Amino acid sequence: MTTRLRTAHTADLTPAELRAARTLLDAAFDGGFADEDWDHGLGGIHALVHDERGLAAHGSVIQRRVLHDGRSLRVGYIEAVGVRPDARRTGLGGQVMAALERVVDGAYDLGALSASEDGATLYTARGWQVWPGRICALGPEGVVRLPEEEGTTFLRPAAAGRLDPAHELVFDWRDGDVL
């Protein structure tokens, strides 16, 4: 199977390309991909893999802020990673992640993502590490702990080694799932 990888900023994608990505993600998440999830994946760099049937895989990296130990870090946050159901387990998720990791490593202080149980296998195999410390968000009422995100938040290995798990990661607030 021949594939073609393209990376592009949201602003450089056509409405048809954005619709195709949203449709793919709805299928990849079996209808569980909410409007807020889609919104979280916009405004950054997208990796799109096409095969003979069309769009087969997608992911994006967007900028977020994380407070850690008195510092504000610029984070490349991985969002909206999905593979068309008939194209799974063929390496397309790895192609998407390699493109996004290149962006994260070249442009951000830290790479992070929140993984589903199914997705965790891909990220672990690529060297991403579970953050062992507390996860919080800076909400409208102040810092809110997110214990349900602990154990599912992954970091790029280079950055993980520079951070102290004794100090929580405090992510910026957003609508829908905060992480």
- Which residue from 73, 68, 57 is spatially nearest to 20, judged by alpha carbons? 57
Task: Give the tokens for residue 124.
Answer: 């672990």
Task: Please tell me the distance from the alpha carbon of residue 164 to that of residue 139, in angstroms, as a whole number.
Answer: 22
Residues 6+ apart with CB under 8 A from 13: 21, 46
Q: In the CATH scheme, what is the code of domain 4-172?
A: 3.40.630.30
Q: pLDDT tens digits for 51-108?
A: 999 999 999 999 999 999 999 999 999 999 999 999 999 999 999 999 999 999 999 9
Note the pTM of the prediction, 2 decimals: 0.94
Q: pLDDT tens digits for 116-125?
A: 888 899 999 9
Calculate mean pLDDT across residues 109-115.
Answer: 95
pLDDT for 117 equals 85
- Enumerate the domain spans of the chain: 4-172
Q: Examine the pLDDT at 161 and tell me if it is beyond 80.
A: no
Q: Where are the alpha helices (DSSP H) in the chain?
A: 15-28, 35-40, 92-107, 117-125, 157-160
> Torsion-angle region of residue 83: left (phi > 0), alpha (psi -120 to 50) or beta?
beta
